[in-house]
């Protein structure tokens, strides 16, 4: 096949003609059995067919997939658009600005560094819950946000003026995923030539798959991969396995979409779906709204999948109408998806790699924790789970700490943070209304939130505030301290703000094991708050319930939450709303609410509009900036090499166990006062009260380099100390990982990191790979990798190596004084090739084990050969 022009067809919708690439014209009736998500990928290949990076072999591979649905063929995917949030977006735009500098130095045309597809950056990760529990909280938090982030915001505003196809959604609008779901996503896209095709998106946040709930295929990638995609480079991947997840039945009354997603996460983590697509099917889908589906799709990173896709059907169209999409777009979506076989019909049974089934009637009220989203706990079992956590921490559950200022005692398990936050749940009107109704009934009974609980409400869009206010539920939430604190990702990303001093002091006085309840998707060690050692994911109404109860050792299925004005016990069942009560209030949610909220989405507040910038094609770097610095990645162009980069005499910087997250590698949240990043900031005149957060300083490589492997909950097996520490090069002392890395760099000693299973779980943080590179790490050797971080390492020129499956890390008995060599079993540099890892010990002994290079595709290999994906792009541009 020389071209795919013969596959074009015309689609007439309400008197308008559109052209599209018709899958039916391929002449293979078997393709109708493909999962809907793979049909979207197939259409993408037809539309971007060039005979080179996309050729007839990959088209044929889709047909072969039906015979052996294991995938594995190289595939170059070109998304319709890119989505960013500001934590990951700032360093991406810093890189683009630095690339323009590199082009300018070679007298090139800087406009070649420009987005080739639409890019939307939503500023949503920078608001912190400093103030709470008052009508003034929102205004004060916004003022703090603008003051702290003025330089970052000026930089992003410069980017909006300097780059074409780059749009910034200002702060105070909402969370990028909810804005994407409610406004940006089109389901079916149309270009200027009148060609229509599925809306697809790559995002720099791992929860980008949330939009899969609307039938839009998308997933999270690292910032460096997103940069390459927006510069016109295809995203290199393999034709995936697709796990079919069949849903039957209907959720029982009182069971929420949050309970369902925590159940799905647990099932799929046990099933093992890392790097795979999950596609939901079955007649139970008809019982789930798009908001319910989006809740499940949002947590694809938590169950390990690339995405969790829901096909387009009548529920999709209903949501598009509800959210104010145009009637033309809705009609086109229906016609196109039906014409292409991408529409979900009752009884559909596509071919899948394998299938999983869940009866929705078996789902029960649930939470997850204390530190992993996949560790689901039934509501009735939470008290015991918390006791088990205390026992594992060698704590006596009866121990208390005194809070003199409040004349109270703080107990282990006490809830000190109760946050209704995160895109996972605030995009779902049912659970938000349920939270409001729990608050209303509690208020009527005279219940109050316990005084040691920090409460907050951070919706994902202004629409939430509109329907909560119009229904009167916001007033009920306010009465319990769940006042609006901001629109954005707060507690879930670690922007929970400081605890009140009396509470913080009491926690520290006896190292109390206290809890956070949040309606988010992440609860990894040290993420939510550095003083909180147990974080539980829960639905918004359960967050309110536990704020009232005040402790997680209770069994709220049986134990009373509190007592009312007449000293009668009040139980959860007394406060929990029925589905009928929720649906009655939900009737007020309308398309006009969404249209009004997004009518001037790019205008921003008067504070945003007042930010002044210089409109230049290249950025005017400021030498004294503590937020935005010119990175060093492009200082020394790397010449591409065909030879395997043999590693000799490397030392082990860190030896880690299983499930090391990107939070551990590149922490967000608070910058500890006694940390390398803190010492650097203070050395350039930034006082601790102006540190802001790691996430806000991702545009400064000096901060992020020092913050890599600096998480306070990190456990390096080389040392008997929690935090970002390792052995000094001589093995005689314990030093910070940053300090050790700099000492090794002085002697030009290469470094490796060795880890267990699921290395790189969590957020799609490119700085987890960038910081690893800048520390001098040449290779990461692990038992297995999470998808995004593995790709990020390749994108920065760091070699990911996987141990042979028969060699668990514990077999190696590493002490930290070993020297590590990595050689190829075959001299040619090739994807997935076997490698030999040699460990030389100080006693003269040697231990050889086998591994496999986890550079999976030829495109990834091309990036690695050039020293990284951005260096590859610069080389392609002739610089």
Would you state the structure tokens that stand for residue 602, as one six-digit string? 């790019």
Contact between 184 and 120 under an 8 Å Cβ cutoff? The reply is yes
Question: Do residues 203 and 279 both lie within one domain?
Answer: yes
Contact between 91 and 222 under an 8 Å Cβ cutoff? The reply is no
Q: What share of the chain is helix, strand, coil (3-state, %, to 5)?
A: 40, 20, 40
Residues 6+ apart with CB under 8 A from 561: 442, 447, 545, 548, 549, 570, 571, 572, 575
Kindly provide the b/e burial profile for residues 129-140, where b requires at least 16 CB atoms within 10 angstroms of the residue's own CB.
Answer: bbbbbeeebbee
Distances in Å between the Cα of 753 and the Cα atoms of 665, 702, 776 are 11, 21, 10
Percent of the chain with pLDDT over 70: 99
| Sign of the alpha-carbon torsion through 599, 602, 607, 612 | negative
Cα of 377 vs its chain's centroid, Å: 22
Asked if the structure places residue 26 within a domain, the reply is no
Would you state the structure tokens that stand for residue 741, as one six-digit string? 């890395």
Asked if the structure places residue 146 within a domain, the reply is yes
Asked if the structure places residue 739 within a domain, the reply is no
Contact between 224 and 766 under an 8 Å Cβ cutoff? The reply is yes
> Euclidean distance between the first and final Cα of the chain, in Å?
34
Cα of 434 vs its chain's centroid, Å: 26
Asked if the structure places residue 376 within a domain, the reply is yes
In which residue are the tokens 């996949």 written? 374
Asked if the structure places residue 488 within a domain, the reply is yes
pLDDT for 128 equals 93
Least Cα distance to 546 among 561, 559, 563 occurs for: 561
Question: Do residues 196 and 258 both lie within one domain?
Answer: yes
- What's the per-residue H, E or C state across 538-560? CCHHHHHHHHHHCECCCCCCCCC
Contact between 557 and 549 under an 8 Å Cβ cutoff? The reply is no
| Sign of the alpha-carbon torsion through 861, 865, 869, 875 | negative
pLDDT for 399 equals 96
Question: Do residues 217 and 345 both lie within one domain?
Answer: yes
Q: Residue 279 forms beta bridges with which residues? A: 244, 309
Asked if the structure places residue 618 within a domain, the reply is no
Last residue of one domain, picked from the residues 577, 609, 626: 577
* CATH assignment at residue 807: 3.20.19.10
Asked if the structure places residue 638 within a domain, the reply is no
Question: Do residues 125 and 182 both lie within one domain?
Answer: yes
Determine how many CB atoms are found less than 10 A away from the CB of residue 256.
Answer: 27
What is the distance between the alpha carbons of residues 651 and 567, in angstroms, rounded to a whole number?
Answer: 65
Q: Residue 73 forms beta bridges with which residues? A: none
Question: Do residues 370 and 355 both lie within one domain?
Answer: no
Strand pairing category for 562-563 and 569-570:
antiparallel
Strand pairing category for 74-77 and 200-203:
unpaired
Question: Do residues 567 and 489 both lie within one domain?
Answer: yes
Would you state the structure tokens that stand for residue 589, as one six-digit string? 């949610």
Last residue of one domain, picked from the residues 577, 612, 633: 577
Question: Do residues 333 and 376 both lie within one domain?
Answer: no
Determine how many CB atoms are found less than 10 A away from the CB of residue 579.
Answer: 15
Question: Do residues 100 and 231 both lie within one domain?
Answer: yes
DSSP assignment of 234-247 equals PEEEEPPPEEEEEE
User: Within the chain, which residues score under 50 in pLDDT?
Assistant: 879
Least Cα distance to 867 among 841, 829, 840, 823 occurs for: 829
* CATH assignment at residue 464: 3.30.499.10
Domain that holds residue 791: 647-657+751-876
The total domain count for the chain is 3
Strands (E), 164-222: 166-169, 188-190, 196-198, 200-203, 217-220
Question: Do residues 213 and 323 both lie within one domain?
Answer: yes
Question: Do residues 307 and 391 both lie within one domain?
Answer: no
Last residue of one domain, picked from the residues 298, 330, 362: 362
Question: Do residues 501 and 428 both lie within one domain?
Answer: yes
pLDDT for 878 equals 63
Asked if the structure places residue 183 within a domain, the reply is yes
* pTM of the full structure: 0.89
Coil, strand or helix at 79: coil
pLDDT for 42 equals 98
Question: Do residues 327 and 380 both lie within one domain?
Answer: no
Distances in Å between the Cα of 166 and the Cα atoms of 83, 415, 631, 694 are 10, 42, 21, 25
Would you state the structure tokens that stand for residue 740, as one six-digit string? 């050790």
């Amino acid at each position: 096949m020389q071209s795919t022009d013969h596959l074009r067809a015309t689609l007439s919708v309400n008197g308008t003609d559109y052209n599209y690439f018709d899958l039916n014209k391929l002449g293979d009736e078997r393709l109708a059995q493909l999962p809907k998500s793979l049909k979207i990928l197939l259409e993408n290949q037809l539309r971007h067919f060039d005979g080179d990076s996309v050729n007839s072999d990959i088209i044929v591979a889709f047909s072969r997939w039906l015979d052996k649905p294991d995938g594995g063929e190289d595939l170059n995917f070109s998304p319709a658009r890119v989505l960013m949030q500001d934590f990951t977006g700032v360093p991406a735009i810093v890189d683009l600005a630095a690339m323009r500098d590199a082009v300018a130095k070679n007298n090139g045309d800087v406009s070649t560094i420009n987005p080739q597809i639409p890019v939307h950056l939503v500023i949503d990760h920078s608001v912190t819950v400093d103030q709470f529990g008052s009508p003034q909280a929102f205004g004060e938090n916004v003022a703090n946000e603008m003051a702290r982030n003025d330089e970052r915001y000026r930089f992003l505003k410069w980017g909006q003026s300097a780059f074409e196809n780059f749009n910034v959604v200002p702060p105070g609008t909402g969370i990028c995923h909810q804005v994407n779901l409610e406004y940006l996503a089109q389901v079916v896209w149309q270009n200027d030539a009148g060609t229509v095709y599925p809306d697809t998106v790559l995002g720099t946040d791992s929860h980008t798959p949330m939009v899969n709930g609307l039938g839009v295929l998308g997933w999270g990638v690292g910032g460096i991969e997103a940069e390459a995609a927006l510069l016109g480079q295809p995203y290199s991947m393999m034709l995936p396995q697709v796990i079919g997840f069949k849903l039957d039945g209907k959720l029982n009354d009182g069971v929420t979409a949050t309970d369902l997603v925590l159940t799905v996460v647990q099932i799929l983590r046990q099933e093992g779906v890392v790097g795979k697509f999950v596609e939901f099917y079955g007649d139970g889908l008809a019982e789930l709204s798009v908001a319910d589906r989006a809740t499940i799709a949002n947590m694809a990173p938590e169950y390990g999948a690339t995405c969790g896709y829901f096909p387009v059907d009548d529920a999709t169209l209903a949501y598009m109408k509800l959210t104010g999409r145009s009637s033309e777009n809705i009609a086109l979506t229906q016609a196109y998806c039906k014409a292409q076989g991408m529409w979900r019909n009752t009884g559909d049974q596509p071919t899948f790699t394998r299938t999983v089934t869940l009866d929705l009637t078996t789902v029960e009220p649930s939470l997850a924790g204390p530190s992993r989203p996949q560790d689901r706990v039934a509501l009735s079992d939470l008290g015991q789970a918390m006791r088990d956590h205390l026992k594992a921490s060698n704590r006596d559950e009866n121990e208390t700490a005194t809070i003199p200022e409040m004349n109270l005692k703080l107990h282990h398990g006490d809830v000190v943070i109760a946050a209704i936050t995160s895109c996972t749940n605030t995009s779902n009107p049912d659970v938000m209304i349920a939270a409001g109704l729990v608050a209303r009934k509690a208020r009527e009974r005279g219940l109050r939130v316990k005084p040691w609980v920090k409460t907050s409400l951070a919706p994902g869009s202004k629409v939430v505030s509109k329907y909560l206010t119009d229904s009167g539920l916001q007033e009920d939430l306010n009465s319990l301290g769940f006042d609006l604190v901001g629109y954005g990702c707060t507690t879930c990303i670690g922007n929970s703000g400081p605890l009140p001093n009396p509470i913080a002091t009491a926690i520290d006085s006896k190292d109390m094991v206290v809890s956070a309840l949040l309606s988010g998707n992440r609860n990894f060690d040290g993420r939510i708050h550095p003083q909180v050692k147990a974080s539980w994911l829960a639905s918004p109404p359960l967050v309110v319930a536990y704020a009232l109860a005040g402790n997680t050792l209770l069994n709220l299925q049986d134990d009373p939450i509190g007592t009312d004005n007449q000293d009668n016990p009040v139980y959860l069942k007394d406060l929990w709303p029925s589905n009928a009560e929720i649906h009655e209030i939900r009737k007020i949610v309308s398309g006009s609410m969404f249209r009004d909220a997004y009518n001037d989405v790019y205008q921003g507040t008067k504070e945003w509009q007042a930010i002044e910038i210089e409109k230049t094609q290249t950025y005017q770097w400021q030498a004294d900036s503590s937020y935005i610095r010119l990175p060093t990645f492009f200082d020394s162009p790397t010449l591409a090499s065909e030879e395997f980069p043999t590693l000799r005499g490397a030392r082990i910087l860190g030896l880690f166990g299983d499930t090391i997250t990107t939070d551990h590698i590149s922490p967000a949240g608070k910058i500890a006062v006694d940390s390398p990043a803190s010492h650097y900031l203070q050395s350039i005149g930034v006082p601790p009260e102006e540190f802001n957060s790691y996430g806000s300083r991702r545009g400064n490589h000096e901060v992020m380099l020092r913050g890599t492997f600096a998480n306070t909950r990190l456990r390096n097996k080389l040392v008997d100390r929690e935090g970002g520490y390792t052995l000094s090069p001589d093995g005689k002392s314990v030093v910070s990982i940053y300090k050790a890395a700099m000492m090794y760099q002085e002697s030009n000693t290469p470094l490796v990191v060795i880890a267990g299973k699921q290395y790189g779980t969590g957020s799609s943080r490119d700085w987890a790979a960038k910081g690893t590179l800048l520390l001098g790490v040449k290779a990461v050797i692990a038992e297995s990798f999470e998808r995004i971080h593995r790709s990020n390492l390749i994108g920065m020129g760091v070699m990911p190596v996987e141990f042979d499956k028969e060699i668990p890390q514990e077999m190696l008995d590493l002490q930290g004084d070993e020297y590590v060599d990595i050689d190829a079993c075959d001299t040619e540099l090739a994807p997935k090739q076997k490698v030999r890892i040699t460990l030389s010990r100080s006693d003269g002994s040697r231990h050889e084990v086998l591994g496999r290079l986890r550079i999976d595709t030829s495109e990834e290999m091309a990036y690695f050969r050039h020293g990284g994906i951005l260096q590859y792009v610069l080389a392609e541009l002739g610089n």
